[in-house]
Structure 1
Amino acid sequence: MADTSGRTVGLRCEDARAIAHKVLAAADVGERLMDDVLLVVSELVSNSVRHAGGVTDFHVRPLMDCVEVEVSDASSLPPRMPGTPVEVPGGFGWLLVNKIADRTEIRSHDTGKTITAFIPLSTAVRQAPGAGLD
């Protein structure tokens, strides 16, 4: 949903997945890439909702060699890897995003942060079917 400024606010995982699916279907991406992008979208959006007060902006863009997923929220705190700190559970979604994406970027700004994940078109080649987290 967009507010009067055009920003995407109150976005739920299922909404973000539906938007991403529509964009990627129009770009005629393969099923494996679609699944990978939808998983990254789910992780980034659910973490924004759970830990950062919700999504303030969201974009999915097919590019020449990858699909760019961009999620912004109002928190300046970066995602964390599992076990950092050791007594706090979680962090596995961020690990998964970084396993699927060729690269990720975190940009801080006055209103929070933006996380961008770049999922290569060749994810099926990079990850054999059935390959799990190491």
Structure 2
Amino acid sequence: MNSTKITIASTPSVPTVVRGASADSVRWAREAARAFTDSLIPATAPATADTFVLVVSELATNALRHGGGRYTLELSATTDALTAAVSDPDPAPPRERTPDLDAGSGGFGWHMVRRLTTELTVTPGPGSGKTIHARLQR
């Protein structure tokens, strides 16, 4: 008898969209990303899930600080990749800046996101804003 293994990706039972406009919403974004990765079949490797949560946290934080004070996060997955799309009202693309090693005012997030993701794109919209699509291999 010939047996074939079939893998079915489940639909996460948690919301895959988070809207934020406060510092607390970054925590919600992290929690949603963790619940999202935990619900996937086949399971996401723990290190990949941790990296995905970190990327989501950095993108949400940057949207609040530099992107107009609010964001919409959409999470999606295929059998090969995890994607976080973060939209904010500011059309300006992210810019790298030198990390502040003395005063602790930041500058590490975008560098981290660039290094941790497999693919990173910035597209116009919705409206006059932008959306950052961060993809990680599963």
The partner residue of 1:44 within 54, 59, 69 is: 59
Rounded to whole Å, the distance in 2 between the matches of 1:10 and 1:90 is: 19
- What is the deviation of 1:62? 1.6
Residue 98 of structure 1 aligns to a residue whose secondary structure is: helix
- What is the deviation of 1:103? 1.0
| Consecutive unaligned residues in structure 2, runs of 5 or more | 1-16, 99-104
How large is the Cα RMSD of the aligned pairs?
A: 2.3
Rounded to whole Å, the distance in 1 between the matches of 2:80 and 2:18 is: 27
| Consecutive unaligned residues in structure 1, runs of 5 or more | 1-5, 84-88, 122-134
Please tell me the residue identity of whatever aligns with 1:98: R
- Taking structure 2 as the reference length, what is the TM-score of the superposition? 0.73
Q: Report which of the two structures shows the higher radius of gyration computed on alpha carbons.
A: 2
The partner residue of 2:27 within 6, 9, 14 is: 14
Rounded to whole Å, the distance in 1 between the matches of 2:96 and 2:129 is: 19
The 4+ residue runs of structure 1 with deviation greater than 6 A are none
Please tell me the residue identity of whatever aligns with 1:97: V
Q: Give the structure 2 partner of residue 99 of structure 1.
A: 115
Matches within 5 A, 1:1-134: 8-10=19-21, 12-27=25-40, 28-83=43-98, 90-109=106-125, 110-121=127-138
The answer to whether the Cα contact below 8 Å between 1:79 and 1:91 also exists between their aligned partners in 2 is: no
Q: CA offsets, 1:24-44, max 9 Å, x none?
A: 100121210111001101100
- Taking structure 1 as the reference length, what is the TM-score of the superposition? 0.75
- What is the deviation of 1:65? 1.2
The percentage of aligned residue pairs carrying the same residue is 30
- What is the deviation of 1:50? 0.9
